[in-house]
Structure 1
Amino acid sequence: MNNTLFDRLFRDAAGQIVIWQPPNLPILIWVSATLLKLVFQTGQVKLVLDLLAFSSLLYWSFLEITQGVNYFRRDLGVVVLPCLLSIQ
């Protein structure tokens, strides 16, 4: 396997190109909480869903930065983290 920029960005340790992975638990929690916020638009339930959505996406970003399978996935976590923190 060549050690090109493309390989370092998009290939994992096994040499497979990885851009998309099946959703992991933090992403599933974020999607679920975000969809539920469409139903519960006011009150304490919305506040809890906001906190749940924010914290699960924050955790996902941390996991990608520290354990991403390639540089693309790690960079994705690095990009999402400041965007997420600037929103809140």
Structure 2
Amino acid sequence: MENRLFNQVFHDGEGKIVLAQTPNLPLIVWIVASLLKLLFTTGRVNIGLDLLAFGTLFTWAWQELFEGVNYFRRALGLIVLIALLAGKIL
């Protein structure tokens, strides 16, 4: 039972353990936008970069939640999605 649960949570369809993957486009754009926000700390550029960073990380989390290769990646997407929304609400 434990082995089956472990396999479902951490293995992909090919039987490989997947905890991290190569960043996809939304994650790369989020990283770049977040780094640029450190340079442009005020003004419209900062607001635009903040919106771009939020949108791309939201997209990444949504994709992970519904298309993640295993339950761990899907849970990671859900956690990031909840954290993003909580950060905007609070």
Alpha-carbon distance in structure 2 between the residues aligned to 1:82 and 1:67: 17
Partner in structure 2 of residue 46 of structure 1: 46
Q: Secondary structure at the match of 1:81?
A: helix
Q: State the shift of 1:82 in Å.
A: 0.9
Partner in structure 1 of residue 21 of structure 2: 21
Alpha-carbon distance in structure 2 between the residues aligned to 1:38 and 1:65: 28
Q: Secondary structure at the match of 1:28?
A: helix
Cα deviation code 1:13-69 (max 9, x no counterpart): 110111110000111000000000010000000000000000000000100011000
Q: State the shift of 1:3 in Å.
A: 5.9
Partner in structure 1 of residue 81 of structure 2: 81
Q: Secondary structure at the match of 1:78?
A: helix
Q: State the shift of 1:5 in Å.
A: 1.0
Q: Secondary structure at the match of 1:14?
A: coil
TM-score, normalised to structure 2's length?
Answer: 0.93
Q: Secondary structure at the match of 1:41?
A: coil
Percent of aligned pairs with the same amino acid? 52
Runs of 4+ in 1 over 3 A off after TM superposition: none
Q: Secondary structure at the match of 1:4?
A: helix
Q: State the shift of 1:86 in Å.
A: 0.8
Structure 1: gaps (5+ residues): none
RMSD: 1.2
TM-score, normalised to structure 1's length?
Answer: 0.95
